[in-house]
Amino acid sequence: MSTAGHFIRCLAAVAWEAGKPLVMEEVEVAPPQKHEVRIKVHFTSLCHTDVCFWEAKGQTPLFPRIFGHEAGGVVESVGEGVTDLQSGDHVLTIFTGECGNCRHCHSEESNMCDLLRINTERGGMIHDGESRFSSNGKSIHHFLGTSTFSEFTVVHSGQVAKINPEAPLDKVCIVSCGLSTGLGATLNVAKPKRGQSVAIFGLGAVGLAAAEGARISGAGRIIGVDLNPNRFEEGAKKFGVTDFVNPREHDKPVQQVIIEMTDGGVDRSVECTGSVQVMIQAFECVHEGWGVAVLVGVPRQDDAFRTHPMNFLNERTLKGSFFGNYKPKTDIPGVVEKYMNKELDLDKFITHTVPFSKINEAFDYMSKGECIRCIIDMGA
Ligand code: NAD
Ligand code: ZN
């Protein structure tokens, strides 16, 4: 019997309080409203952003809430006005959207949609501000409009990328966020030429994805910079990182170390730490005349970027990137195709898998810095 138009009762992992283990419980998921789709989530993965908002240190606490934004699933039903998706489509949920109608969506250069750009404060759906989730009559907040730590979720159709149905959802679900952010920062913004040198600052999931972009671009030298030496030994080598710099092992500024290693500076750099000091280092270590630095990390509210203007006059370029400059609906299916034709390697990012019932273990792995990506198998 079709579930379309009906409430669905299913399991969700609900965060009732900041920093407290998620509670597995039955919730009711309302049918999708105008421009929304309801999705059966097959695989979801845990990202730092989920952990940050669950801990709610420095963020507005909004509880109870269902977290989760990186996910692959299948459309169960669609709401009024949805014409580009139908029941049975294989999809990825995206934390930022593409309405298709605003100035940004009309611009070839932007992915910063006016309507559906990331909004961490919103706990309801755009259409009516209401939640589609409830537990014993109590409403539960959404997170990033995706809330994928539930067997079923409701998402705005502009935050849904329809992908190749042959693509394994347990792998491509990571394309939803961190992977695309780092990959696109290199492929779409830094754009290294074959043989060029690329420095990657911060070798977490985003930085390693940026390194994967450098590998795909045919970079000659990929220099990884991180304070944690395990990041290189246990991970980065597999990603084609050729050199490692640990700033703690040098008594001069990292930019100086890199300039000396590369005869004047790297051709490209990508910053994936969120530290403003590192952003400055990433900019000042690129070569005069042609070097390009791309900032990806999210800084603190009161940070200010300070560098001598001469660095710009000497023809160094500074850029920033949001979600790898990918348009969620238009471009993400193509990233999945890169995996399908073996240009992009995703498997090496997946270090852990847990069944949905053990989702709290994924938080432990992430908090201890033990994993790049942990897949949560909703069917196990
Ligand atoms: P992560 O914490 O897993 O990795 C960050 C790495 O940076 C760690 O390995 C850490 O040891 C290293 N690091 C920290 N300080 C350093 C320093 N001073 N010098 C060298 N290395 C240092 O984080 P992640 O999930 O990979 O995310 C990286 C950044 O990207 C975060 O700031 C995140 O908020 C941001 N992000 C941005 C976007 C975007 O669209 N712009 C999207 C997602 C995430
Ligand atoms: Zn738009």
From 94, 146, 234, 273, mutation site for ligand 1 pocket: most ligand atoms within 8 A of C-beta: 273
From 45, 46, 47, 48, mutation site for ligand 1 pocket: most ligand atoms within 8 A of C-beta: 48
Neighbouring residues of 318: CB distance < 8 A, sequence distance ≥ 6: 283, 292, 293, 295, 312
Question: What is the pLDDT, as a whole number, of residue 28?
Answer: 98
The minimum-distance atom of ligand 1 relative to the CA of 207 is 26
Sheet holding 292-295, edge to edge: 243-245, 221-225, 197-201, 268-271, 292-295, 317-320
304 C-alpha to ligand 2 centroid (Å): 29
Question: What tens digit of pLDDT does each residue of 252-302 get?
Answer: 999 999 999 999 999 999 999 999 999 999 999 999 999 999 999 999 889
Question: What is the pLDDT, as a whole number, of residue 99?
Answer: 97
Question: What is the pLDDT, as a whole number, of residue 1?
Answer: 66
Q: Is 213 in the pocket of ligand 1 (CB under 6 A)?
A: no
Q: Is 202 in the pocket of ligand 1 (CB under 6 A)?
A: yes
Q: 């579930």: which residue's tokens?
A: 3
- In angstroms, rounded to a whole number, what is the distance separating the alpha carbons of residues 51 and 45? 12
Q: Is 226 in the pocket of ligand 1 (CB under 6 A)?
A: yes
104 C-alpha to ligand 2 centroid (Å): 6
The minimum-distance atom of ligand 1 relative to the CA of 369 is 3
Pick from 294, 295, 289, 245: which is nearest to 264 by CA?
289
- In angstroms, rounded to a whole number, what is the distance separating the alpha carbons of residues 124 and 308? 44
- Give the number of whichever ligand sits closest to the CA of residue 273: 1
Question: What is the pLDDT, as a whole number, of residue 370?
Answer: 81
pLDDT tens sequence for the chain (380 residues): 689 999 999 999 999 999 999 999 999 999 999 999 999 999 999 998 999 999 998 778 899 999 999 999 999 999 999 999 999 999 999 999 999 999 999 999 999 999 999 999 999 999 999 999 999 999 999 999 999 999 999 999 999 999 999 999 999 999 999 999 999 999 999 999 999 999 999 999 999 999 999 999 999 999 999 999 888 877 788 899 999 999 999 999 999 999 999 999 999 999 999 999 999 999 999 999 999 999 999 998 899 999 999 999 999 999 999 999 999 999 999 999 999 999 999 999 999 999 999 999 999 999 888 899 999 999 98
281 C-alpha to ligand 1 centroid (Å): 14
Rg of the chain over CA atoms, in angstroms?
Answer: 21
In terms of Cβ atoms closer than 10 Å to its own Cβ (0-12, 13-18, 19+), residue 337 is middle
Q: Is 296 in the pocket of ligand 1 (CB under 6 A)?
A: yes
- Indicate which residues carry an active-site annotation: 47-49, 69-70, 99, 102, 105, 113, 117, 177, 373
- The answer to whether 208 and 239 are in contact (CB under 8 A) is yes
Q: Which two tokens stand for residue 309?
A: 């203007």
Q: Which alpha helices (DSSP H) does the chain contain, by range?
A: 48-55, 103-106, 169-172, 178-184, 205-217, 230, 254-261, 276-284, 310-313, 328-340, 359-367
Q: Which residues of 165-179 are buried (b: 16+ CB within 10 A; e: fewer)?
A: eebebbbbbbbbbbb
Question: What is the pLDDT, as a whole number, of residue 59?
Answer: 79
Question: What tens digit of pLDDT does each residue of 55-78 get?
Answer: 998 778 899 999 999 999 999 999
185 C-alpha to ligand 1 centroid (Å): 13
Q: Is 272 in the pocket of ligand 1 (CB under 6 A)?
A: yes
In terms of Cβ atoms closer than 10 Å to its own Cβ (0-12, 13-18, 19+), residue 77 is buried
Question: What is the pLDDT, as a whole number, of residue 337?
Answer: 98
